[in-house]
Chains A and B, each alone.
Chain A
Amino acid sequence: MLKVDGIDVFYGDLQVLWNVSLEVRENEILVLVGANGAGKSTTIKTISSLLRPDKGRITFNGHRLDQEPAHKIIGHGIVHVPEGRRLFTQMSVEENLIMGSLHGEAKPKRLETMAYVYELFPRLKERRKQLGGTLSGGEQQMLAIGRGLMSLPKLMMFDEPSLGLSPILVQNIFGIIKKISQEGVAVLLVEQNVMQTLKMCDRAYVMENGRIVMEGPGPELLENAQVKEAFLGI
């Protein structure tokens, strides 16, 4: 479905990704784990065209993405739920959701999808007139996910959705992500929460210093001595 093929990415003169290749398949949950600064966020920002690779290519169902401007990516069916939620804080919950459905077939189906999102997150329905910035952390994450769902994505990319949430809320959010994937949406999840995400995913890539160093099914990596030592401290 999504193929990232040998990309090099620079911030100015500083190279941060080295020959990164990965693949997301239909219906799977793919996890990208790694320490802070390993290049996980940079990778999905490059997929979203917020950054441009100097080398390599990115294709989605045969369409080349790496030369597209950032605002066109969502039209291909890829939505990026960014790190730190990045809601429109001065807009209501409802307007934030509307912002997710500006294009293509998502626009005429706006009300339908919104009803589905409210069903998934009843809390958002209660607060639909409230400003995005006044929600609690968990609610903000729900809204960020809901806003992404509004675009009727084929692939959803989550950047650290567990950041700053209590363990119960983290469970909750991971449960939702699983549910979304069961509805037929492929998921690319970037996380530092290695133990939990490796348990729930189909496959995982491990990143270190801007390179992919390991790849395999989640449970297998969980047993891997190197992963244990680097991330789990066992």
Chain B
Amino acid sequence: MEVFLQTLVAGILKGGLYGLIGIGMTLIMGVMGIINLAHGQLMMIAMYITYSLFQFLGIDPYVSLLISMPALFLLGMAIQKYTLNPLLEVESILPENQVLMTVGIGMVLTEIIRFAFGSDYKSVQTSYSTSTFFIGEISFSLALTVAFFIAVVFTILMFWFLLKTDMGRCIRATAQDKDAALLMGVNSKRITIITFGLGSALVAAAGSLLIPIYYLFPDIGGPFTRKAFVITILGGLGSTVGAILGGLTLGLAESFGATYIGMAFDDMIGLIIFILVLLFIPGGFKRLTKI
């Protein structure tokens, strides 16, 4: 029973962070209709920013959120404005070409980091990286718990922004019906740029929050792009509530897989769940929540 609860807790905490990663990709999917296959690589960039700030300036990873998020917001906006939107201007090029472009961007980002930092593993050792506390018999990793709550705060803020502000409404409107949004005066090009910036900033937050727990190397982006993709599909493309459920599902699946089947299988369990969801609820969790 204890092992079960312990696994459950670990899964939920990880799932909260996965949700944050998934929401970013989902927003981009909803508005632009493309899967951003550089998502994990953007997160990797944020992780290296946090790492550098800690290593060279001694800035705490949680404080570095204030720098990594705006930095990735700007980087994301630049990517959309200068590399993805120009593809829309060219005639007879399909949206798929934007997806291919994101693959290329992901590679470029990875190689730039490899060039600058080398391929070796890095980690950030904070005073709290390995500390734990107990509630009853269950141990909580301090860093992961803090990360989880910050992720929840960002998720709530994101929902507030999407539901209660004019800009948030414009983003949702563009995702639902781009032409109707245009007729209502929404500058859809500007919305795509802001959305890509926001998605990048959210995944940057997840990256910075993971740093005290994770090790870091240039190719870490790929696996996270894959996770984000799985979460987005689980959630039902373009559904933010679905993305949170998808994140939790993946976190729990990995956690239980690692405990009951074996550490080496945690990725496999996630992908098996992915296949099962595609087979039995092909619309993803969106079908269950309707939001």
Contacts and interface: CB of A to CB of B under 8 A. Distances in A.
Interface of A: 48, 50, 69-75, 79-80, 82, 86-91, 95, 98-100, 102-103, 107, 147, 151
Given A88-B173, A91-B172, A95-B169, A71 B179 contact: no
Contacts of B183: 48, 50, 70, 73-74, 79-80, 82, 86
A129 to B, nearest CB: 13
A82 B184 contact: no
B290 to A, nearest CB: 8
Given A88-B172, A91-B169, A102 B180 contact: no
B185 interface: yes
B161 to A, nearest CB: 14
Interface of B: 166, 169-170, 172-173, 176-177, 179-188, 291
Given A70-B183, A74-B183, A90 B172 contact: yes
Chief secondary structure at chain B's binding surface:
helix
A141 B176 CA distance: 18
7 contacts: A74-B183, A86-B177, A88-B172, A90-B172, A91-B172, A99-B181, A102-B186
A102 to B, nearest CB: 5
A86 B186 contact: no
Contacts of B176: 88-91
A48 B185 CA distance: 10
A91 B180 contact: no
Nearest to A91: B172
A48 B180 CA distance: 11
Contacts of A73: 183, 185
Contact of B188 (A48, A71, A100, A147): A71
B182 A71 contact: yes
Contacts of B170: 99, 102
A88 B177 CA distance: 7
A32 B90 CA distance: 34
B182 A99 contact: no
Contacts of A79: 183
A89 B181 CA distance: 12
B169 A86 contact: no
A86 B187 contact: no
A74 to B, nearest CB: 4
Contact of B173 (A69, A82, A99, A103): A99
A76 B291 CA distance: 34
A69 B291 CA distance: 31
A98 B169 contact: yes
Contacts of A75: 185
Contact of B185 (A88, A89, A151): A151
A103 B182 CA distance: 12
Given A71-B188, A74-B185, A82 B180 contact: yes
Contacts of A87: 177, 180
B193 to A, nearest CB: 14
A71 B176 CA distance: 16
Contacts of B184: 74, 99-100, 102, 147, 151
